[in-house]
Amino acid sequence: MSFKPGSTTTPTVIPATTSAASLPASPEQAEHHLNAVDQAIISRQSMREFLPTAVPHALLELLLELASRAPSGTNTQPWKVYVLQGNSRDGLVAKVCEAHDALRAQPELAAVYKEAYDYYPEKWVSPYIDRRRENGWGLYGLLGIGKGDKDKMHLQHQRNFRFFDAPVGLMFTLDRVMGRGSLVDYGMFLQNIMVAARGHGLHTCPQAAWNGFSSIILPHIGAGPDEMLVCGMALGYADESALVNTFRTPRVSASEFSVWLE
């Protein structure tokens, strides 16, 4: 399912009394049963192959304006966005891919390429490690990459640093003076971009993979010394025919993560 600019299709709105059990089980089933916001949320997925089709400047501006309506603690609005296209995008891709290759050849360079904050835990435990493995091997299995295929793994990971061929790359920074709560604010801002993108026929892939290369990225985009990299994002029109874009991650039921108190 995808949204087309200018679409006149009017989805059916689910009544407020509809139970969770009666919700459609897949995006395909949802197309004619969920309202427009529901459809945008449920059809969002991390796409890993994009078309070269340019995204209009006005549309990019609109997405950012829409995203700015995200809530933030005391309305601090801590986000800052760098939009990379054309030469700026291609130049960053070349620099980081070169560094990524060098890191593989010289693992000791890991001391140079460090993240500004811990995105993942130092020690993995269940159920998180189980979900991580399911995600990784599910994707690699779909692409025919075995556990011992180090070269293929490296190349697939490097697709991140090519924005999966998306014509637009976004880099998000945060003033270092801000507290951890601003990362919560940022998450809502990022989700707004991704959901708004779906409403206009676009897809995205949020990317923490860039974070380790912030020492290359921040000077390239002209970020100030007080800014830290939060993450990157690929944005564009997805290649719906690409095998990799058939990969869709599962979600646990709300009943598994919610506690109801009366």
Q: Are 208 and 231 in contact (CB under 8 A)?
A: yes
Phi/psi zone of residue 248: left (φ > 0), alpha (ψ -120 to 50 degrees), beta? Answer: beta
- Any idea where the domains of the chain sit in the sequence? 14-42, 44-119+160-245
- pLDDT of 211-253, one tens digit each? 999 999 999 999 999 999 999 999 999 999 999 999 999 999 9
Neighbours of 91 (CB within 10 A): 12
User: For 65-96, what is each residue's pLDDT tens digit?
Assistant: 999 999 999 999 999 999 999 999 999 999 99
Contact 185, 72 (CB under 8 A): yes
> Which CATH number, 3.50.50.60, 3.40.109.10, 2.40.30.10, 1.20.210.10, labels domain 44-119+160-245?
3.40.109.10
Structure confidence at residue 21 (pLDDT): 42
pTM, entire model? 0.87
Q: Is the pLDDT of residue 207 over 80?
A: yes
Residue 141 burial (CB count, 10 A): 12
CA distance 34 to 198: 14
Q: State mean pLDDT over 12-40.
A: 57
CA angle 224, 60, 199 (to 5 degrees): 130
